[in-house]
Structure 1
Amino acid sequence: MRFLIIIPAHNEENNLSFTLDSLQQQGSKDFKVVVVNDGSTDRTAEVIRKYTETDPRFETINLQKSEHQPGSKVVHAFKNGLQKQSMDDFDIICKFDADIILPENYLGTLETAFAANPAYGLIGGLLYVEKDGHWIYEGNSNKNHVRGPMKAYRKECFIQIGGLRETLGWDNIDSILLDNLGWKEVVLPELQVKLIKVKGADYTIRPADYYGRYFYFLGLNRFLAYIASSKEAMKSKSPSFFFDIISSYENCRSKKMELKITKEEQKAVNDQRWKMLKKKWLKM
């Protein structure tokens, strides 16, 4: 299997070399890497050049800086890298971040899993972060969900779900859509991926605004959005947080902000969320 790996990068001069080195050290060598330099103002371009000038598997695309919005920015850069390539030449489409370190057997293990399991549409490992000199499981998501920094899609699955959406919630939308189409999302816990920096640290959006917009752009109906908001409020033990999230969600609804999913896909999202609700809360 041949891998197409697209890496959006903005001001990653301190992290990117770790990611690209870990790719060069892979046991599986049949891949192409496209680093999308998204308007970096630091030495990111110089870091990229060290690889493109010495390794023909590495290419770069330079963009003007796109608007820094959670979700849409990184997917916009990813799509710019993808449209310059012919997917006919590849079997696996990867969206990796510019601040991860992959174990040397990462691509080889993915290839084996994809080859042995035709229903596998999306595979990834688990993220680990450094704390007090030790790498520990990040724990931001359940262990059955492939996180955004290390997505690897079977090409046929990627095409069927319509690729990635330039919207907040894109890395949950893909999971729901592929499941609805009969594909499987699989996490291989033995693949420990090191995340160099904490995600979301540079976002200026308030947490309540983030969740409200996230639930809206995910396509949740009002009932499910309110349920999800109450769960977040309970986590923070703040009743006011619930109303702040709802205010953000309703503001998006009143403005009729454009969704990046179709009516049919929106129904699939809500159906899946409703199944989760019945299973976890109602024990049905």
Structure 2
Amino acid sequence: MRFLIIIPAHNEENNLPFTLNSLQQQSFKDFKIVVVNDGSTDKTAEVIKKYIDNDTRFETINLEKSAHQPGSKVVNAFKNGLNTQNMDEFEIICKFDADIILPENYLEILEKSFKSNSNYGLVGGLLYIEKNGDWVYEGNSNKHHVRGPMKAYRKESFLQMGGLRETLGWDNIDSILLENLGWKEVVLPELHVKLIKVKGADYTIRPAEYYGKYFYFLGLNRFLAYIAASKEAMKSKSVSFFFTIITSYENCRSQKLELKISKEEQEVINNQRWNMLKKKWLKM
């Protein structure tokens, strides 16, 4: 199975070499990499050129800097890279970040998993971050969800769900849509992927306004959004956190901001969230 790996990169001169080196050192060699230089103002382009000049599996495209919108910016860059390629030449489509280090057997293990399990639609490892000199599990999500920096899709599943959505929450929307279509999302816990940008930082803490927008663009109805806001407020041990999330969510509703998912997909997402709620909290 051949891999197409798309890597959006904006001002990643310090991190990108680690990512590209880890890909060059993979035990599995049948892949193509497209690094999308999204309007970088540092030496990212020079870093990319070094790899292109020495390895025919590397390509790049250069974009003017896109507007920074959480979720949509990186997906827009990914799509620009994808559109330059003939997807008939590949079986696995990957969206990787420009600040990760993959273990040498990462692609080999993914390829074996996809070949051995025809219902696997999305596969990845676990993210680790550096804290006090040690690499520890990042812990920003459950261990059954493939995180945004290291997505690998079977091409059939990717096409069937209509690709990635240029919106906040895209990396949860894909999981829900794939599951609804009968594909499995699988995390391989033995594959430890290092996330190098956030050394020592706890980026799992998000501003309340972020969550309000996230719940809106995820397509959650008001009831489920308020439940989700309550959960985040309990984590933060702050009543004001809840009300700020709700205000942000309601502002998005009142402005009728465009969603990147259809009415049918919204229904799928809300049903999935409701079923999770019943299972976890109501024991139904």
Global fold match (TM > 0.5): yes
Q: Aligned residue pairs: how many?
A: 280
Note the C-alpha offset of 1:131: 1.3
Query: What SS does structure 1 have at the residue aligned with 2:213?
Result: helix
Q: Which residue of 2 aligns with 1:198?
A: 198
Q: Which residue of 2 aligns with 1:108?
A: 108
Paired letter, 2:182: G
Query: What SS does structure 1 have at the residue aligned with 2:215?
Result: helix
1:66-215 equivalence runs, <5 A: 66-198=66-198, 207-215=207-215
- TM-score (structure 2 length as normaliser): 0.97
> CA–CA distance in 1 between the matches of 2:198 and 2:156?
32
> CA–CA distance in 2 between the matches of 1:233 and 1:26?
42
Paired letter, 1:142: N
Query: What SS does structure 2 have at the residue aligned with 1:84?
Result: coil
Q: Does 1:59 align with 2:79?
A: no
- TM-score (structure 1 length as normaliser): 0.97
The answer to whether the 8 A contact 2:130-2:198 is kept is no
Note the C-alpha offset of 1:149: 0.2
Q: Which residue of 2 aligns with 1:46?
A: 46
Q: Which runs of 5+ in 2 are unaligned?
A: none
Note the C-alpha offset of 1:198: 2.5
Query: What SS does structure 2 have at the residue aligned with 1:243?
Result: helix
Query: What SS does structure 2 have at the residue aligned with 1:172?
Result: helix
> CA–CA distance in 1 between the matches of 2:41 and 2:197?
19
> CA–CA distance in 2 between the matches of 1:131 and 1:226?
33
Paired letter, 1:133: G
Provide, for residues 33-87 of structure 1, a one-character-per-residue CA deviation record: whole Å limited to 9, x for no partner.
0000000000000000000111000000000001111101100000000011011
Give me the identity figure in percent.
81
Q: Does 1:228 align with 2:228?
A: yes
Moved over 4 A (4+): none
Note the C-alpha offset of 1:13: 0.3
Q: Which residue of 2 aligns with 1:219?
A: 219
RMSD: 1.2
The answer to whether the 8 A contact 2:99-2:197 is kept is yes
The answer to whether the 8 A contact 2:6-2:36 is kept is yes
Note the C-alpha offset of 1:157: 0.2
Q: Which runs of 5+ in 1 are unaligned?
A: none
1:25-36 equivalence runs, <5 A: 25-36=25-36
